[in-house]
Chain A
Amino acid sequence: DVKVTQSSRYLVKRTGEKVFLECVQDMDHENMFWYRQDPGLGLRLIYFSYDVKMKEKGDIPEGYSVSREKKERFSLILESASTNQTSMYLCASSLPPRGSSYEQYFGPGTRLTVT
């Protein structure tokens, strides 16, 4: 069974704080992803990584950075949290796609509130 874990289920931070969200997967997946999910907007991709020390910007990378020093771990960093970063953050991992056979496995999410 694939397991993706995230460091916190709920987090409350103040504006301007540096925030670290950690994600760990135990299935030796090459790909890892960070999304945020907001009502009416669905899931939006922030950053992704296809390998250790590799990262690529998603659709909304502004205000975020990532780190992938080990294959199983992908960290999302908010350098200076702002109230518009209040959201549900979801991490996912996957093997590379093989034709139409492809699945991303999600962690339980971290609900971040920035006050």
Chain B
Amino acid sequence: RKEVEQDPGPFNVPEGATVAFNCTYSNSASQSFFWYRQDCRKEPKLLMSVYSSGNEDGRFTAQLNRASQYISLLIRDSKLSDSATYLCVVNPAQGGKLIFGQGTELSVKP
């Protein structure tokens, strides 16, 4: 079983749609959680951290369910510029090593 699992997609949605990505992780002792965004042929960049209480940044909402070892990202009112691959990322311990999911590809169409 992979340490971090995501549905690879692709998710093809129209502009203005709401889309949700899910991710599961296997290590129940994992410390912190993130979503990174990677544009085509570019490097990954931090989109947002995921807090236990859930957190929102504009159109983006991240949620964490420690009991189910499950992380989600919700994007409301999708824009063309949201087209990218979204990487679910877990910090399994106190150190700086991160475990990346394989990514979920999103394509937002006009």
Contact = CB atoms under 8 A, between A and B. Distances in A.
- Whether both chains belong to one complex is answered with yes
B97 A102 contact: no
A107 B43 CA distance: 6
User: Interface size for chain B: under 10, 10 to 19, 20 to 34, or 35 or more residues?
Assistant: 20 to 34
Contacts of A28: none
Contacts of A97: 31-32, 91, 94-96
A48 B96 contact: yes
A58 B102 contact: no
B96 A109 contact: no
Most buried by B among A48, A50, A102, A109: A102
Given A97-B32, A100-B32, A42 B100 contact: yes
B98 interface: yes
Contacts of B59: none
Nearest to B85: A42
Most buried by B among A31, A58, A104, A109: A104
A102 B96 CA distance: 8
A41 B50 CA distance: 23
CB-based closest 8 A-B pairs = A42-B102, A106-B43, A100-B32, A43-B100, A31-B96, A103-B46, A42-B100, A100-B49
Interface of B: 8, 31-34, 42-46, 49-51, 87, 91, 94-98, 100-103
27 contacts: A33-B96, A35-B100, A40-B102, A42-B87, A42-B100, A42-B102, A42-B103, A43-B87, A44-B100, A45-B98, A48-B96, A50-B95, A90-B44, A97-B91, A97-B94, A99-B32, A100-B33, A100-B51, A102-B32, A102-B96, A103-B46, A104-B96, A106-B44, A107-B43, A108-B42, A108-B43, A109-B43
